[in-house]
Chain A
Amino acid sequence: MATLEELQARITRLDDIKQIEKLQRIYGYYLDYFEYQKVVDLFSDHTESVEMADYGVYKGKAGVKRFFLDLLGGKPPRVGELSIGMIMQGVVDEDPGGKTAKGRWYCMMIEAKPTLSLHEGELRQLWGNGIYENEYVKEKGKWLFKKVFFFLNFRTPYEDGWLKVPVIGQNGPSTDVRPDEPPTNYTPYPSGVHLQPHYKHPITGK
């Protein structure tokens, strides 16, 4: 029979996974409501980086603020602007020691957004899909984002679809709010690039 200490450790691990799942889902709701300061506050002060699609790599907590507050939140959302990003199928794996973790998530997007640039151009109805491979860190008993990486698979007009128009509205790194580094893996459909999972196979260990 397990000791009390062993059971406490196992419960802590389960609790950690639930806290991380909640963090990831809360993030998604804040992002959809354009509440970027609340998003920033979910990141560790020791954040490694945030990188999404073709915007490039924003490093550190300062980079997180520039990306969410200055770039995405640079202009208030327009009437009719819509973001519904369903974050699903989370696989969260805690690292040994229980202080850091990694998670993989799908994101399915239904949007009405400008497509000429990030904030300019008429609103278009969009379907989107991508994968998060994120890292988390536990500080003072709370789980925070340590690294966010979002691989865009497609973002297509509702009327067209991903076979006809795989990506619209992605125009490369901003020249106003410049990233620290260029995108590390912007290879949307139909590149055939597969974003490999952070985890090893649970049975074979490969």
Chain B
Amino acid sequence: MNLEELEKQVTLMEDIQEIENLQRRYAYYFDLQRWRDIVDLFSDCSPFEDGWIKTPLMGLMNYHPTVKPDASPTAFHPYPSGYHVPYHYKHPVMEE
């Protein structure tokens, strides 16, 4: 085994040890009712942990680098802008 292979193996063992500790510390914090500490054990990159309040948008690349549009977006105002898409119809009773 060369040094590079050995390092891979050591890193794997360290990773396993750290994951085991993470799981156990999580459980102790749970029993101690330290909820903020539990939240801080979670990754920021877990979409199920974010939702539309914390991260309204992700994965949008703005304009495509090569396939360019003919004009800018006409109504790109995502949450929490408060923008409401206008109706094309009038109220059927009030006619407003």
Contact = CB atoms under 8 A, between A and B. Distances in A.
A197 B31 CA distance: 11
Interface stretch (B16-24, B51-59, B67-75, B82-90): B16-24
B25 A202 contact: yes
How big is chain B's contact interface, by range? 10 to 19
Interface stretch (A6-14, A43-51, A140-148, A157-165): A6-14
Contacts of A168: none
Contact of A89 (B3, B24, B40, B41): B24
Interface of B is mostly: helix
Given A2-B3, A7-B7, A202-B41, 20 more contacts: A1-B7, A2-B7, A2-B10, A7-B6, A10-B10, A11-B10, A14-B14, A17-B17, A89-B28, A90-B24, A91-B21, A91-B25, A104-B28, A196-B32, A197-B25, A197-B28, A197-B32, A199-B25, A201-B37, A204-B37
Interface of B: 3-4, 6-7, 10, 13-14, 17, 21-22, 24-25, 27-28, 32-33, 37, 40-41
